[in-house]
Structures are given as C-alpha cells and as structure tokens.
C-alpha cells in the first residue's frame, strides 16, 4: 500500500502490518512518531528527533519520566494505596487520576506562586493591581496560602481580599467532554508556549466543583478557596453561570447559526454542590465558616439573563429567560476597563457589590422557595434540566423532588450548624433580600394549617404557589431595575424561624412523594388550571436519582433507609445481569405506526375533524388507508400546531369553526402526544443516559448515600447498622471494578460513564463517578473529620483488605520524592494529605504511633485512633513534619469476612 503524505478530501489512517511469532514470556514493543498539533518548525524538529540514532532510547526515557511525573501528581492527591484487595487499590488510583485530570491539582502543596498570583490580580481587577503594585512586586517567589491571606487582609481592600481568597493555582486541568457527543468539546492545554506547565483550569460549573470537593480533602487549605470561588460567581437571582475558569466566568449567548446554542440556568447546582463544600468546611475548618457569616467579602455574578414575570412563567414555562443583549455589551465594556471583575454585579458607587455568607445562603434558599410547589418539589422553570441532562425536556413543566431533597439537607445543615454560629447579634443583609425573606415567610405562615393533611389540594397548592412565585417575581423586578439595596440588620432568631418553617413544608412534601412501594418520586409534572385557579400534579415513573436524593436528604430513619433499599432491590430499576441499578426502568417504546393515532372517542368529541376530512382539508388531520386518524406529519410540536390553527382561523372557510374548536384541537393533540410528559433523551434514546442504561456516576452516588446513612446509624447505635453494612457492600458489588472484563465490557479498574443495554461500558475516565468513589473509599478506611480533627476508625472494613504477608508500600512524600515503606503482615497502607497511614491488626487495645524525624527517631504513641490537635493540624495543613502514622487496630475493631 503506497504512502499518502497529504490528505485529499478523505480521512487518513495510519496502518502498520507485520507478522510476528512470540515465545512464552516474550514481549514486543514498538514506537510511533506523530506530528499532530505541531506547527511547521515543530514538525521539522520532530523529524530530526526521529532520525537521531538514540531516538528509541530517548523516547523510552521520556515515557518513563512522564510516567513518574504522572504518578507524582496522583500520589500527591492521595491516589496510592496498598491492601490485600489489589483491584480496589488499582481502581482508587484510576479514580484519583481522572479526578485531577478533570478538575486539576496543586503542584506545591499549599504554597502559592506569587508571580502567577500577581498576574491573576491584574486579570481580575486592573485598579486593585495598580493600587497594590508595590505590595505585589515585593512578594517573594512563593508564600504559604495562610501567609498571603494574612498579608492581604492587613491591607483592608475588599477586592484584593476576595481575589486572594478565591485564588486556586491549579494545573493539569482540562475541559472535558465525550467526543462522541456532538454538543461536547474537549480541550487539553497543559503547557504554555515556552513549554512550562500552565496554571489554569476550565470547566462546566457542575463538573469542576464536584472534582474540587474530593481534591480539597487532599489539600484542605484550598477548601475555603473553592467555596469562595463558588460564592463569588453565583448570581443575585439565585443561580450560576455555565462555565468557570481561572480568568473568571462565562455564560452562554444565543447564536442563531448554532443549532446547539441555548441559554438558561441549572436549578440544582447552587444547592447540592455548595452544600457538600460547606459540610466539609464545618468538619475541617468550622471557625473559617463562622468567620464568613458577617464580613461582606463575596461578590455576585452579573449574568445578562432576565427571568420572566410569574404570569409569563405560568403561561409558557419553557421559554422563561430573555437575553439582555445591550446589557451584555455594557458588561463587555466594563471588562475592558475593569478586568474580569467587570462580569460581577456592580454597586451604585461603581465598585464590586459585596455580600456576606449569610446573605448568600439566604438568596440561594429563598429563590428555591419561590419556586416551591407543595407536594411536588422545586419548579424547573429556568430552561435547563438538572444533573441528568437526558431529562432536558422536563424543563418548564417538571417539578424536582430531587432538588427538594437536597434543599431539605441544606436547610437542616444551616439551621443546625451555621445559624448558631451567629450568636445573638443581628447580621447585615441587603434590604432587598430581607424583603423577599419576609414575603416568603409570611406566605408559608399563612398556609401552615395545610400541613395537618397528607398533601395540599389543588386549590390550596395554587394559592401558596401564587404567593411564593409573586414574591420571587417582585424580588427579581427590583433586582433587575435597581440592583441590591443597602444592608439592614436581621436578627439571627428571625433566620432560624424562617428556616424551621421552610423545613416543615419541605418535609411534608417529601413525605407526600413516597410511593406505596416505598420508593420515592424523582420528578413530577405540574398543570396550571386557570378557570378554577388550581395546580394539579402528575407523577412520572420511578428513577434511581429520586431514591438517591431521598437517601441523601437526612429525612429517613435508619429503618426507613433499609426499607427503601430493599424496595429498590426488588424494583424495575435493578438490572440483574450487572447486579446494579438503571437510571429508570427499561420499557418497550411504541412502534412507528402505533404513534400519532387519534382515539375514536377524541375524534367523535371533535366534529371539526370529520368535517375537514369530508371537505378535503388535510392540513390538520388525515386518515390513513387502514382507517386510523392521525395529525398531519408536519405538526411536529405545539408551535407547528399553533401556526396551522392560525392559518385556519384566517381562512374564511374555517374561521368560524376554529373560534370554537381551537382549544379542543390542542387538547386532543396533547392527549395523543403527551409532550408535557416527554422527558428527553431519557425517554426516547438508548445510548448515553437513555433507556436500559446504567449511569455509573449515579450508582456511585447511591453508594455514597448508603455509606452516609451507615455511618450515621453506627454513631447513633442503631440496630439497623448491620443491615446497612450489608446493603452498602451489595451496591458496591455491582460497580465496574468488581466485574470481569467480559461482563463489564471494558477494563474493570477504570471508571466509565455508562453502560447501555445493548453493549459494554462506554466513555472511560472523564466521569463524575470518580469523586463519589474517592469519598466512599475514605469512608471505608474510616477517615473522619470533626471540628478540625482527624479520626481513623474503620468500622466496616473488610478483613481481606489486610495483606496476609509483609509487603512494601510505594508512595511519594510531601517533598515529591519516591519512597518505600515496609509493612508487616496483617497491614494495609494509604496516604492522607500526602502522609502514609498504616493500619495493622493487633491483639489488645488500639493505639497509634506518629513517626517524625529524619531517621524516624521521634515516635509518639497515643491510645485510641483519634489524632490530637497537633497531629491533625500537621496533616490538614500538609506541613512536612510527619513521616508516617501507624494505627494499631485492637480488639474493639472487628472486620467483615
């Protein structure tokens, strides 16, 4: 086959053919030299490299160096473990690898590069960089994060403090996307034009914050930076922009030339992702969380979207956001003059509008409550689906029980752990937000009597929704026209009372969404009735997402959790061959000829149809040769139907008839197609997150939810704890790394996105599943954080995890050097914030030994498995003072067979 050095209109291919015979234990390797993604000068240099007589050796050396560098990155993020279960530890390494590939990682522990920080300040706020040019120029090459923040805080500049607090010197991050999906893009840019590693990150909001959650457990000092980045980019109308980068935020803009172009807000992102970060902050750094409640140190993103008035939302809930094009141009002008901070909400004095954490939490919660549908969930009326974007057609008429579950957990967390930090003194909050809080609180108080019944009736539901949605519309109108008004004091007791009332309503609605088979609804459909001012709800089939959210909510007792898990195991979402769970029950879709059939009853109830057929008018309906009545094939959606109805209304032949029959025709059309109940890809496709599909990220979310309930049951001494341990390992047994390559259809140790019903696992690596499994692995190993201290209590670890014989543990220390630690028999090892932790089974009482010193000559032995404050601080701050810790697990620990 002749070589073709040029492409001429068809795809190229690289073909290498050879016949070889290998002896047992013999290996064969070869090297390919490519010139992809290179400019002309680089191609010439690559050709010279290939002609070098030492090219093969140089390539092997480069591969070995790259492998070692990759291992260092993964090891620093706690990816190295050794145990008697090699598959589990290999899978953990892969999870950490892909987690840092998605969200990035840190190269120098908690030390910050000051040259990059100074450039970062200049990108975000030109004026702040100019005001503090002398300060920035005098900074050393590197500073510990805590040292930089102390210096910046002393300058008392809110802009510089905000920028420093949210600074994240991440590298290795790449914008991800499955290339097989046409709406995704994939970007890998790891080095600059000089060949130096780039400090940069880019990701969709929901992706990158998930990965940072797991990453920050290895680099805890950056947790409040991730929280600040989140809060600084959330909007005053309660949502977040689409994408976040080191240079700020980005939002989608309408593009008539791009069929994939659209705008909108994901309603769930603000709740669950921030909640998880705040929960970790309360465990790791409670004083920092408390210190954020009063100072106005966070900003608001100023996204040029305008959410419609309530009447318009109700009239057309699928088209609810207007893009303010002129305002978007003014934002671009601000960016030119200010820097990236020009995309933030600006106060009347021309500076960035700042708010405290208390106000931020209020906005987040109150906006959800203004979209609260009692007995239903949170109204999805911002043109975007939630976590599972295969449910994209739920937008508008969909009501999310899923988000209501996470809102419940957020309300309880803030009520129990955050508001008490305020003490008795009032807190300052924008008067605009206070007014919204008062209107929402009053609306809920007026309807408390309805909580005495199992569910709201349609009329009372509509009345409360009218009150809450009107309050939300009033708030948005004031915000869009005048911005946020000056702050006023609010009593902490007022906030606690509001959240307590909201929690009552949320719990009531969640209980109303429990099905007779003990499963929970995930999403409902709403239907406004104007003639009697009512709001009806219609249930959708069960979904795994709804069960996971219910398990995560904190609503259920341990016994109810066991009952729900048993119901799931016996439900239509359990897939027997893979011993795991589908996103939703598989079902047989109607064939082509079974669709678009008007029932005889509907036909007879609308005499217009027969009249049209008799007169040869086929723009609306027609009969096929078999006698079945159908709508015209061009009527692909409601808009197409309305266009034809308008044409007929303007046709003298049909004008009189259409004035009486148009609404009836629309009703028959909806009866035939039931567009309102169409969920999207989830209801009509079979790949990606379609029918018959296992979505491994959601199964991992299930695993984490079960583990959270298991740990809570053990802490409470619940008799249901053993059943939860069994349920946990039953869910875990279905994950890919427990399968053979034959059943999984791929390398089992690698994480994969999904498994369709018709093939093996698809889309390796770049999945949010990795974050959940990093967290569950920490839980299995008994790593616990509370009030800034570390405990190591493996209460449901399997005995097989301990190596039966002595072995070595290879890891990378905090200085970046490869190290080996010798382990005795009956031991395992992992790293926590870069420090090796060794578990050893022993007889007698438990104790732990902390080894320090260059020659391990300093060893401190303490009873139990809870680390003291000094040791905990050294771990959490990644201070290179501890060589390793040996935890001797005594008789009080029993391990599963």
Q: 3-state DSSP helix/strand/coil percent for the chain, to nearest 5?
A: 45, 15, 40
Last residue of a domain, one of 661, 681, 701: 681
How far apart, in whole angstroms, are the C-alpha atoms of residue 790 and residue 220?
12
- Residues 332 and 461 both lie in one domain: yes
Q: Do 509 and 608 fall into the same domain?
A: no
Give SS3 for 777: helix
Indicate whether 534 and 598 sit together in one domain: no
Residue 354: predicted pLDDT: 98
Tell me the pLDDT of the chain averaged across its residues. 94
Pick the residue with more confidence: 92 or 174?
92
**pLDDT confidence of residue 186:** 61
pLDDT digits (tens, 9 = 90+) for 843-870: 999 999 999 987 788 889 999 999 999 9
**Domain count of the fold of the chain:** 4
Q: Is 372 a residue whose pLDDT tops 90?
A: yes
Query: What is the pLDDT, as a whole number, of residue 176?
Result: 61
Q: Decide if pLDDT at 2 tops 80.
A: no
- Whole-number Å distance between alpha carbons of 757 and 513: 29
Residues 800 and 654 in one domain: no
Report residue 359 as tokens. Answer: 């106000």
pLDDT band with cut points at 50, 70 and 90 for residue 183: low
- Structure pTM? 0.94
Residue 96 lies in a domain: no
What pLDDT is attached to residue 178? 56
CB atoms under 10 Å from CB of 10, counted, come to 7
Q: What is the mean pLDDT of residues 443-467?
A: 97
CA dist 188 and 201 (Å) reads 10
How confident is the model over 36-46, as a mean pLDDT?
88
Q: Does residue 626 sit within a domain?
A: yes
Do residue 524 and residue 650 come from a single domain? Answer: no
Query: Which tokens in the block code for residue 80?
Result: 């190295």
For residues 869-895, give the mean pLDDT: 96
* Residues 438 and 529 placed together within one structural domain of the fold: yes
* Overall average pLDDT of the 656-664 stretch: 90
762-764 sheet: strands from edge to edge: 694-695, 752-755, 762-764
What pLDDT does residue 387 have?
79
Alpha helices by DSSP H, 678-820: 681-684, 696-716, 721-733, 741-744, 769-780
Q: Is residue 325 part of a domain?
A: yes
DSSP secondary structure letter of residue 43: H
Could you tell me if 81 and 828 are in contact, meaning their C-beta atoms sit under 8 angstroms apart? yes
Asked if residue 603 and residue 475 are part of one domain, the reply reads no
Q: Are residues 626 and 551 in the same domain?
A: no
Name, in order, each residue with C-beta under 8 angstroms of 60's C-beta and a sequence gap of 6 or more: none
Question: What CA–CA distance (Å, rounded) separates 207 from 226?
Answer: 13
What's the confidence (pLDDT) of residue 181? 56
Give the pLDDT mean for 13-38: 86
Rounded Cα–Cα distance for residues 98 and 495 (Å): 41
What local confidence, expressed as pLDDT, does residue 187 receive?
67
pLDDT class of 266 with cuts at 50, 70, 90: confident
Quick check: is 427 in a domain?
yes
- What pLDDT is recorded for position 650? 95
Task: Check: CB of residue 841 under 8 Å from CB of residue 826.
Answer: yes
Query: End of a domain among 496, 526, 555?
Result: 555
User: Is the pLDDT confidence value at 180 over 70?
Assistant: no
Lowest mean pLDDT among 21-35, 301-315, 363-377, 695-709: 21-35
Residue 775 domain-assigned (yes or no): no
pLDDT of residue 17: 83
- Tell whether 155 is covered by a domain: no
Residue 348 lies in a domain: yes
Look at residue 182 and tell me whether its pLDDT is greater than 60.
Answer: no
653 plus 505 within the same structural domain: no
Q: Write out the two tokens for 765.
A: 């690596």
| Total residues belonging to the chain | 897
CA dist., res. 342 & res. 338, Å (int) = 5
Residues 405 and 480 in one domain: yes
Q: Which residue has the higher pLDDT, 198 or 520?
A: 520
Is the distance from CB of 158 to CB of 296 less than 8 angstroms?
A: yes
pLDDT of residue 262: 86
Domain end call among 681, 698, 732: 681
pLDDT at 699 over 70: yes
Cα torsion for 293, 204, 302, 467, to the nearest 10°? -70
| 131-161 tens-digit pLDDT | 999 999 999 999 999 999 999 999 999 999 9
What residues form DSSP beta bridges with 863?
847
The pLDDT assigned to 71 comes to: 96
Question: How many Å apart are CA 675 and CA 639, to the nearest integer?
Answer: 12
Provide the phi-psi class of 170: left if phi over 0, else alpha when psi is between -120 and 50, else beta: beta
Q: In terms of domains, do 358 and 458 share one?
A: yes
Instruction: Tell me whether residue 691 is in a domain.
Output: no
**Among residues of the chain, what percentage have pLDDT more than 90?**
83
Lookup: tokens for 302:
């100023």
**Does residue 299 sit in the same domain as residue 441?**
yes
Q: Show Cβ contacts of residue 274 under 8 Å, excluding neighbours closer than 6 positions.
A: 227, 230, 231, 234, 364, 410
| Whole-number pLDDT of residue 451 | 97
DSSP string, 221-268: GGHHHHHHHHHHTSBTTS---SEEETTEEE-----TT-TT------SS
Q: What is the domain range of residue 884?
A: 781-897
Please write the tens of the pLDDT for every residue from 602-650.
999 999 999 999 999 999 999 999 999 999 999 998 899 999 999 999 9
pLDDT, residue 468, reads 99
Confidence of residue 680 (pLDDT cuts 50, 70, 90): confident
Mean per-residue pLDDT for 763-776? 89
747: left (phi over 0), alpha (psi -120 to 50) or beta: beta
């Amino acid at each position: 086959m002749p070589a073709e050095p040029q492409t001429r209109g068809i795809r190229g291919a690289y073909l290498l053919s050879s016949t070889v015979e290998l002896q047992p234990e013999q290996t064969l390797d070869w090297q390919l030299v490519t010139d992809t993604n290179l400019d002309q000068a680089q191609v010439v240099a690559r050709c010279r490299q290939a002609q070098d007589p030492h090219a093969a050796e140089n390539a092997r050396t480069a591969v070995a160096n790259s492998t070692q560098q990759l291992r260092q990155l993964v090891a620093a993020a706690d990816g190295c473990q050794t145990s008697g279960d090699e598959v589990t530890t290999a899978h953990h390494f892969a999870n950490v690898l892909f987690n840092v590939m998605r969200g990035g990682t840190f190269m120098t522990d908690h030390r910050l590069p000051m040259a990059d920080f100074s450039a970062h300040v200049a990108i975000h706020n030109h004026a702040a960089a100019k005001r503090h040019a002398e300060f920035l120029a005098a900074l050393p090459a590197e500073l510990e994060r805590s040292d930089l923040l102390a210096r910046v805080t002393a300058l008392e500049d809110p802009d510089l403090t905000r920028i420093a607090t949210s600074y994240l010197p991440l590298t290795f991050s790449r914008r991800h996307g499955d290339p097989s999906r046409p709406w995704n893009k994939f970007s890998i840019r790891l080095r600059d034009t000089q060949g130096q590693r780039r400090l940069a990150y880019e990701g969709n909001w929901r992706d990158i914050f998930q990965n940072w959650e797991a990453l920050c457990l290895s680099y805890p000092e950056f947790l409040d930076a991730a929280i600040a980045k989140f809060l600084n980019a959330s909007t005053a109308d309660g949502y977040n922009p689409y994408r976040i980068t080191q240079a700020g935020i980005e939002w989608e803009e309408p593009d008539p030339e791009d069929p994939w172009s659209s705008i909108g807000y994901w309603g769930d992102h603000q709740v669950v992702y921030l909640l998880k970060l705040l929960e970790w902050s309360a465990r790791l750094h409670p004083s920092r969380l408390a210190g954020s409640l009063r100072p106005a140190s966070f900003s608001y993103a100023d996204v040029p979207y305008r959410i419609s008035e309530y009447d318009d939302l109700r009239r057309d809930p699928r088209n609810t956001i207007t893009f303010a094009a002129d305002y978007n141009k003014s934002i671009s002008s601000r960016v030119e003059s200010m820097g990236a901070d020009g995309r933030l909400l600006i106060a009347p004095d021309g500076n960035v509008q700042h708010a405290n954490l208390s106000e931020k939490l209020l906005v987040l919660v109150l906006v959800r409550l203004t979209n609260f549908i009692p007995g239903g969930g949170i109204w999805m009326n911002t043109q975007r689906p939630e976590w599972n974007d295969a449910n994209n057609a739920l937008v508008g008429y969909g009501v999310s029980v899923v988000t209501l579950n996470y809102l419940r957990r957020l309300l309880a967390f803030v009520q129990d752990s955050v508001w008490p930090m305020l003490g008795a003194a009032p807190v300052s909050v924008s008067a605009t937000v206070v007014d919204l809080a008062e209107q929402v609180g009053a609306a809920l108080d007026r309807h408390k009597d309805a909580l005495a019944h199992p569910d709201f009736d349609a009329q009372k539901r509509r009345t409360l929704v009218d009150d809450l949605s009107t309050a939300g519309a009033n708030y948005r109108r004031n915000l869009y026209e005048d911005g946020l008004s000056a702050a006023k004091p609010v009593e902490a007791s007022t906030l606690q009372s509001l959240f307590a009332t909201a929690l009552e309503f949320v719990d009531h609605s969640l209980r109303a969404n429990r099905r007779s088979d003990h499963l929970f609804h995930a999403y409902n459909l709403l239907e406004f009735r104007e003639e009697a001012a009512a709001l009806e709800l219609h249930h959708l089939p069960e979904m795994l997402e709804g069960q996971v959210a219910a398990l995560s909510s904190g609503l259920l007792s341990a016994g109810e959790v066991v009952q729900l898990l048993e119901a799931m195991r016996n439900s239509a979402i359990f897939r027997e061959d893979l011993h795991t769970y589908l996103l939703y029950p598989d079902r047989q879709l109607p064939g082509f000829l079974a669709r678009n059939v008007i029932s005889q009853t509907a036909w007879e109830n609308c005499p217009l149809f027969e009249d049209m057929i008799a007169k040869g008018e086929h723009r609306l309906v027609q009969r096929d040769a078999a006698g079945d009545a159908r709508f015209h094939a061009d009527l692909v959606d409601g808009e197409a139907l309305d266009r034809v109805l308008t044409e007929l209304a303007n046709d003298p032949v049909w004008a009189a008839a259409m004035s009486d029959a148009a609404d009836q025709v629309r009703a028959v059309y909806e009866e035939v197609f039931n567009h309102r109940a169409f969920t999207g890809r989830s209801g009509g496709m079979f790949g990606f997150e379609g029918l018959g599909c296992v979505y491994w990220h959601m199964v991992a979310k299930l695993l984490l939810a079960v583990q959270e309930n298991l740990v809570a049951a053990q802490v409470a001494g619940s008799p249901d704890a053993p059943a939860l341990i069994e349920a946990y390992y039953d869910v875990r047994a279905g994950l890919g790394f427990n399968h053979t390559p034959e059943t999984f259809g791929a390398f089992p140790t690698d994480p994969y996105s999904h498994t369709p019903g018709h093939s093996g696992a698809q889309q390796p690596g770049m999945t949010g599943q990795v974050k959940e499994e990093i967290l569950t692995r920490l839980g299995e190993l008994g790593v616990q954080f509370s009030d800034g201290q570390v405990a190591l209590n493996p209460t449901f670890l399997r005995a097989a995890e301990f190596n039966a014989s002595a072995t070595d543990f290879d890891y990378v220390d905090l200085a970046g050097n490869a190290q080996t630690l010798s382990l005795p028999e009956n031991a395992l090892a992992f790293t926590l914030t870069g420090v090796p932790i060794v578990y050893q089974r022993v007889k007698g009482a438990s104790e732990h030994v902390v080894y320090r010193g260059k020659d391990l000559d300093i060893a401190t032995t303490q009873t139990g498995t809870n680390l003291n404050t000094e040791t905990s601080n050294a771990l959490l701050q990644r201070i290179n003072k501890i060589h390793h810790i040996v935890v001797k697990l005594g008789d009080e620990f029993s391990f599963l067979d």
